[in-house]
Amino acid sequence: MFDTFAEWDIPVNDSVTIHGRSGGEGPPVVLLHGHPRTHTTWYRVAPALAQAGFSVVCPDLRGYGRSAKPEPDRKHEVYCDRAMAADIVALLRNLGHSRFAVVGHDRGSYVAYRTALDHPDAVSRLGVLDSVPILEALERAGAKFATAWWHWFFFGSSPHAERVITADPLAWYRPDEQAMGHENYRDMTSAVTNPATVRAMLEDYRAGLTVDRAHDEADRAAGRVITCPTLVAWSAKDDMEDLYGDPVAVWRSWVSGELTSARIESGHHMAEENPVQLAETLVRFLG
Protein backbone atom coordinates (compact mmCIF):
# COMPACT_ATOMS: atom_id res chain seq x y z
CA MET A 1 0.00 0.00 0.00
CA PHE A 2 1.40 3.42 -1.04
CA ASP A 3 4.54 1.57 -2.12
CA THR A 4 6.57 4.56 -3.34
CA PHE A 5 4.99 7.21 -1.09
CA ALA A 6 6.73 8.91 1.81
CA GLU A 7 4.99 8.72 5.19
CA TRP A 8 5.23 11.71 7.52
CA ASP A 9 3.97 13.63 10.53
CA ILE A 10 4.12 17.38 9.85
CA PRO A 11 3.31 20.17 12.34
CA VAL A 12 0.94 22.74 10.81
CA ASN A 13 0.67 24.96 13.89
CA ASP A 14 1.67 24.92 17.55
CA SER A 15 -0.99 22.37 18.55
CA VAL A 16 -1.69 20.26 15.45
CA THR A 17 0.49 17.72 13.63
CA ILE A 18 -0.91 16.07 10.51
CA HIS A 19 -0.13 12.48 9.57
CA GLY A 20 -0.19 11.23 6.00
CA ARG A 21 1.64 10.22 2.87
CA SER A 22 2.78 11.86 -0.36
CA GLY A 23 4.29 10.69 -3.61
CA GLY A 24 4.72 11.38 -7.31
CA GLU A 25 5.95 14.39 -9.20
CA GLY A 26 4.03 17.07 -11.09
CA PRO A 27 1.10 19.38 -10.36
CA PRO A 28 0.06 18.93 -6.71
CA VAL A 29 -3.30 17.50 -5.63
CA VAL A 30 -4.43 16.77 -2.08
CA LEU A 31 -6.99 14.02 -1.43
CA LEU A 32 -9.19 14.38 1.68
CA HIS A 33 -11.00 11.36 3.11
CA GLY A 34 -14.45 11.22 4.67
CA HIS A 35 -15.92 9.78 7.87
CA PRO A 36 -14.89 7.41 9.41
CA ARG A 37 -12.07 6.67 7.01
CA THR A 38 -8.42 7.72 7.12
CA HIS A 39 -6.03 8.77 4.33
CA THR A 40 -5.52 5.09 3.43
CA THR A 41 -8.95 5.00 1.74
CA TRP A 42 -7.09 6.46 -1.27
CA TYR A 43 -4.58 3.58 -1.44
CA ARG A 44 -5.56 2.60 -4.98
CA VAL A 45 -6.46 6.05 -6.35
CA ALA A 46 -3.40 7.99 -5.13
CA PRO A 47 -0.77 5.78 -6.83
CA ALA A 48 -2.76 5.94 -10.08
CA LEU A 49 -2.69 9.76 -9.95
CA ALA A 50 1.02 9.73 -9.15
CA GLN A 51 1.63 7.44 -12.12
CA ALA A 52 -0.40 9.86 -14.28
CA GLY A 53 2.01 12.69 -13.44
CA PHE A 54 0.74 14.34 -10.26
CA SER A 55 2.29 15.06 -6.90
CA VAL A 56 -0.27 13.48 -4.57
CA VAL A 57 -0.77 14.34 -0.89
CA CYS A 58 -3.03 12.22 1.33
CA PRO A 59 -3.42 13.49 4.92
CA ASP A 60 -5.49 12.34 7.84
CA LEU A 61 -7.77 15.25 8.67
CA ARG A 62 -7.42 16.86 12.07
CA GLY A 63 -8.95 14.49 14.63
CA TYR A 64 -9.02 11.51 12.25
CA GLY A 65 -6.56 8.66 11.79
CA ARG A 66 -3.16 9.40 13.30
CA SER A 67 -3.40 13.20 13.05
CA ALA A 68 -3.54 15.35 16.20
CA LYS A 69 -6.71 15.43 18.27
CA PRO A 70 -6.73 18.80 20.07
CA GLU A 71 -9.09 19.46 22.97
CA PRO A 72 -12.57 20.48 21.72
CA ASP A 73 -14.03 23.88 22.55
CA ARG A 74 -17.59 24.84 23.43
CA LYS A 75 -18.14 26.68 20.14
CA HIS A 76 -16.86 23.68 18.12
CA GLU A 77 -14.40 25.92 16.26
CA VAL A 78 -11.43 23.60 16.93
CA TYR A 79 -12.93 21.00 14.58
CA CYS A 80 -14.68 23.28 12.10
CA ASP A 81 -13.96 23.08 8.38
CA ARG A 82 -12.26 26.48 8.47
CA ALA A 83 -9.68 25.20 10.96
CA MET A 84 -9.16 22.02 8.95
CA ALA A 85 -8.81 24.01 5.72
CA ALA A 86 -6.07 26.11 7.35
CA ASP A 87 -4.32 22.83 8.28
CA ILE A 88 -4.36 21.75 4.63
CA VAL A 89 -2.93 25.04 3.33
CA ALA A 90 -0.15 24.98 5.96
CA LEU A 91 0.58 21.31 5.22
CA LEU A 92 0.88 21.87 1.48
CA ARG A 93 3.14 24.88 2.01
CA ASN A 94 5.34 22.78 4.25
CA LEU A 95 5.58 20.26 1.41
CA GLY A 96 6.56 23.03 -1.00
CA HIS A 97 3.22 23.71 -2.71
CA SER A 98 1.73 27.20 -2.56
CA ARG A 99 -1.02 26.37 -5.08
CA PHE A 100 -2.70 23.00 -5.47
CA ALA A 101 -5.85 21.11 -6.44
CA VAL A 102 -7.97 19.73 -3.62
CA VAL A 103 -10.38 16.79 -3.83
CA GLY A 104 -12.55 15.72 -0.91
CA HIS A 105 -15.01 12.91 -0.30
CA ASP A 106 -17.89 12.98 2.19
CA ARG A 107 -16.76 15.06 5.23
CA GLY A 108 -13.51 15.74 3.43
CA SER A 109 -15.44 17.52 0.69
CA TYR A 110 -16.58 20.12 3.23
CA VAL A 111 -12.97 20.83 4.10
CA ALA A 112 -12.12 20.90 0.39
CA TYR A 113 -14.72 23.51 -0.58
CA ARG A 114 -14.00 25.55 2.55
CA THR A 115 -10.34 25.59 1.46
CA ALA A 116 -11.41 26.92 -1.95
CA LEU A 117 -13.64 29.59 -0.38
CA ASP A 118 -11.19 30.75 2.30
CA HIS A 119 -7.97 30.40 0.28
CA PRO A 120 -8.84 31.05 -3.38
CA ASP A 121 -5.26 31.99 -4.25
CA ALA A 122 -4.07 28.59 -3.05
CA VAL A 123 -6.63 26.34 -4.79
CA SER A 124 -6.29 25.73 -8.52
CA ARG A 125 -9.06 23.13 -8.86
CA LEU A 126 -11.70 21.65 -6.58
CA GLY A 127 -13.31 18.22 -6.56
CA VAL A 128 -16.28 17.46 -4.31
CA LEU A 129 -17.39 13.83 -4.09
CA ASP A 130 -20.70 12.63 -2.65
CA SER A 131 -21.77 15.93 -1.12
CA VAL A 132 -23.56 19.23 -1.44
CA PRO A 133 -22.63 22.31 0.65
CA ILE A 134 -23.50 21.63 4.26
CA LEU A 135 -25.85 24.62 4.39
CA GLU A 136 -27.75 23.27 1.37
CA ALA A 137 -28.02 19.83 2.98
CA LEU A 138 -29.34 21.23 6.24
CA GLU A 139 -31.83 23.53 4.54
CA ARG A 140 -33.21 20.49 2.69
CA ALA A 141 -33.22 18.25 5.77
CA GLY A 142 -36.84 17.12 5.78
CA ALA A 143 -38.17 13.82 7.06
CA LYS A 144 -36.63 11.86 4.19
CA PHE A 145 -33.16 13.22 4.89
CA ALA A 146 -33.53 12.86 8.66
CA THR A 147 -34.59 9.23 8.27
CA ALA A 148 -31.70 8.31 5.99
CA TRP A 149 -29.04 10.52 7.60
CA TRP A 150 -30.16 10.38 11.22
CA HIS A 151 -26.54 9.84 12.31
CA TRP A 152 -25.78 13.52 11.51
CA PHE A 153 -28.08 14.59 14.31
CA PHE A 154 -27.15 11.77 16.66
CA PHE A 155 -23.45 12.60 16.26
CA GLY A 156 -24.03 16.33 16.33
CA SER A 157 -26.44 16.72 19.22
CA SER A 158 -26.86 13.58 21.33
CA PRO A 159 -25.05 13.56 24.70
CA HIS A 160 -24.97 9.76 24.42
CA ALA A 161 -23.18 9.40 21.07
CA GLU A 162 -19.63 9.09 22.39
CA ARG A 163 -20.58 6.50 25.02
CA VAL A 164 -22.60 4.43 22.56
CA ILE A 165 -19.94 4.35 19.83
CA THR A 166 -16.93 3.75 22.08
CA ALA A 167 -18.73 0.82 23.74
CA ASP A 168 -18.13 -1.21 20.54
CA PRO A 169 -16.76 0.87 17.62
CA LEU A 170 -16.46 -2.05 15.21
CA ALA A 171 -20.06 -3.10 15.79
CA TRP A 172 -21.09 0.51 15.20
CA TYR A 173 -19.11 1.10 12.00
CA ARG A 174 -19.18 -2.49 10.69
CA PRO A 175 -16.10 -2.18 8.44
CA ASP A 176 -15.71 -4.84 5.74
CA GLU A 177 -12.08 -5.96 5.62
CA GLN A 178 -12.45 -7.79 2.32
CA ALA A 179 -14.01 -4.78 0.58
CA MET A 180 -11.61 -2.26 2.11
CA GLY A 181 -8.35 -4.19 1.78
CA HIS A 182 -6.40 -5.42 4.79
CA GLU A 183 -4.05 -2.48 5.41
CA ASN A 184 -6.74 0.12 4.81
CA TYR A 185 -9.06 -1.80 7.16
CA ARG A 186 -6.33 -2.02 9.80
CA ASP A 187 -5.60 1.72 9.64
CA MET A 188 -9.27 2.69 9.88
CA THR A 189 -10.11 0.25 12.69
CA SER A 190 -7.06 1.34 14.69
CA ALA A 191 -8.36 4.90 14.45
CA VAL A 192 -12.01 4.31 15.37
CA THR A 193 -11.14 2.10 18.35
CA ASN A 194 -9.30 5.08 19.86
CA PRO A 195 -11.82 7.01 22.03
CA ALA A 196 -10.00 10.28 21.24
CA THR A 197 -10.70 9.74 17.53
CA VAL A 198 -14.38 9.11 18.20
CA ARG A 199 -14.63 12.30 20.24
CA ALA A 200 -12.90 14.30 17.49
CA MET A 201 -15.11 12.86 14.74
CA LEU A 202 -18.22 13.76 16.73
CA GLU A 203 -16.87 17.29 17.10
CA ASP A 204 -16.59 17.45 13.30
CA TYR A 205 -20.35 16.78 13.09
CA ARG A 206 -21.13 19.22 15.91
CA ALA A 207 -19.22 21.90 14.04
CA GLY A 208 -21.15 21.00 10.90
CA LEU A 209 -24.50 21.72 12.52
CA THR A 210 -23.32 25.02 14.01
CA VAL A 211 -20.21 26.96 13.06
CA ASP A 212 -19.73 25.40 9.59
CA ARG A 213 -23.32 26.22 8.73
CA ALA A 214 -22.79 29.79 9.97
CA HIS A 215 -19.70 30.18 7.78
CA ASP A 216 -21.67 29.02 4.74
CA GLU A 217 -24.48 31.44 5.57
CA ALA A 218 -22.00 34.32 5.86
CA ASP A 219 -20.41 33.44 2.52
CA ARG A 220 -23.76 33.23 0.76
CA ALA A 221 -24.89 36.56 2.25
CA ALA A 222 -21.63 38.19 1.14
CA GLY A 223 -21.83 36.69 -2.36
CA ARG A 224 -18.59 34.73 -1.97
CA VAL A 225 -18.34 31.81 -4.39
CA ILE A 226 -15.82 29.23 -5.55
CA THR A 227 -13.91 30.71 -8.47
CA CYS A 228 -11.77 27.77 -9.61
CA PRO A 229 -12.84 24.96 -11.96
CA THR A 230 -14.92 22.50 -9.94
CA LEU A 231 -15.80 18.82 -10.35
CA VAL A 232 -18.98 17.50 -8.73
CA ALA A 233 -19.02 13.69 -8.66
CA TRP A 234 -21.27 11.27 -6.87
CA SER A 235 -21.80 7.53 -6.39
CA ALA A 236 -24.54 6.08 -8.57
CA LYS A 237 -25.50 3.53 -5.89
CA ASP A 238 -25.62 6.04 -3.04
CA ASP A 239 -28.58 8.33 -2.29
CA MET A 240 -27.35 11.66 -3.70
CA GLU A 241 -29.72 11.62 -6.67
CA ASP A 242 -32.60 10.40 -4.53
CA LEU A 243 -32.12 13.27 -2.09
CA TYR A 244 -31.13 16.09 -4.45
CA GLY A 245 -32.06 15.12 -7.98
CA ASP A 246 -29.16 16.65 -9.89
CA PRO A 247 -26.36 17.39 -7.37
CA VAL A 248 -24.76 19.77 -9.86
CA ALA A 249 -27.82 22.02 -9.73
CA VAL A 250 -27.34 22.38 -5.97
CA TRP A 251 -23.71 23.40 -6.42
CA ARG A 252 -24.33 25.82 -9.30
CA SER A 253 -24.96 28.91 -7.18
CA TRP A 254 -21.78 28.24 -5.20
CA VAL A 255 -19.40 28.08 -8.16
CA SER A 256 -18.55 30.84 -10.62
CA GLY A 257 -15.78 28.85 -12.29
CA GLU A 258 -16.18 26.02 -14.80
CA LEU A 259 -18.41 23.29 -13.39
CA THR A 260 -18.20 19.68 -14.55
CA SER A 261 -19.79 16.49 -13.25
CA ALA A 262 -19.31 12.74 -13.12
CA ARG A 263 -21.37 9.77 -11.97
CA ILE A 264 -19.25 7.00 -10.47
CA GLU A 265 -20.59 3.45 -10.65
CA SER A 266 -20.13 2.53 -7.00
CA GLY A 267 -21.57 2.71 -3.54
CA HIS A 268 -20.64 5.49 -1.14
CA HIS A 269 -16.96 4.64 -0.64
CA MET A 270 -16.05 5.22 -4.28
CA ALA A 271 -12.27 5.28 -3.76
CA GLU A 272 -12.46 1.70 -2.50
CA GLU A 273 -15.34 0.39 -4.60
CA ASN A 274 -14.45 1.80 -8.04
CA PRO A 275 -10.94 3.29 -7.85
CA VAL A 276 -10.34 2.83 -11.58
CA GLN A 277 -13.25 5.01 -12.75
CA LEU A 278 -12.60 7.55 -10.00
CA ALA A 279 -8.90 7.84 -10.86
CA GLU A 280 -9.70 8.20 -14.57
CA THR A 281 -12.28 10.89 -13.77
CA LEU A 282 -9.83 12.83 -11.61
CA VAL A 283 -7.01 12.60 -14.17
CA ARG A 284 -9.30 14.03 -16.85
CA PHE A 285 -10.48 16.82 -14.57
CA LEU A 286 -7.04 17.70 -13.21
CA GLY A 287 -5.62 17.79 -16.70
Q: Which helix (H) or strand (E) holds 262?
A: strand 259-264
Mean pLDDT over each residue of the chain, to the nearest integer: 97
How far is the C-alpha of 218 from the C-alpha of 216, rounded, in Å? 5
pLDDT per residue as tens digits for the range 51-62: 999 999 999 999
Which tens digit of pLDDT belongs to each residue from 263-285?
999 999 999 999 999 999 999 99
- Residues linked to residue 59 through DSSP beta bridges, in sequence order: 20
- Predicted TM-score of the model (pTM): 0.98
**Confidence band, pLDDT 50/70/90 cuts, at residue 93:** very high
Cα(77)–Cα(18) distance, integer angstroms = 18
Per DSSP, 255 falls in state: B
**Which of the following is catalytic: 118, 238, 239, 268?**
268
Catalytic annotation present for 215: no
pLDDT band (50, 70, 90) for residue 33? very high
Does 268 participate in catalysis according to the annotation? yes
Domain range 6-286, its CATH number among 3.40.50.1820, 1.10.10.10, 3.40.50.970, 3.30.1490.190: 3.40.50.1820
Q: What is the mean pLDDT of residues 190-206?
A: 98
**Interacting residues of 36 by C-beta distance below 8 A, sequence separation 6+:** 64, 173, 188, 191, 192, 201
As a whole number of angstroms, the distance between CA 64 and CA 240 comes to: 24
Residue tagged active-site, from 60, 87, 106, 219: 106
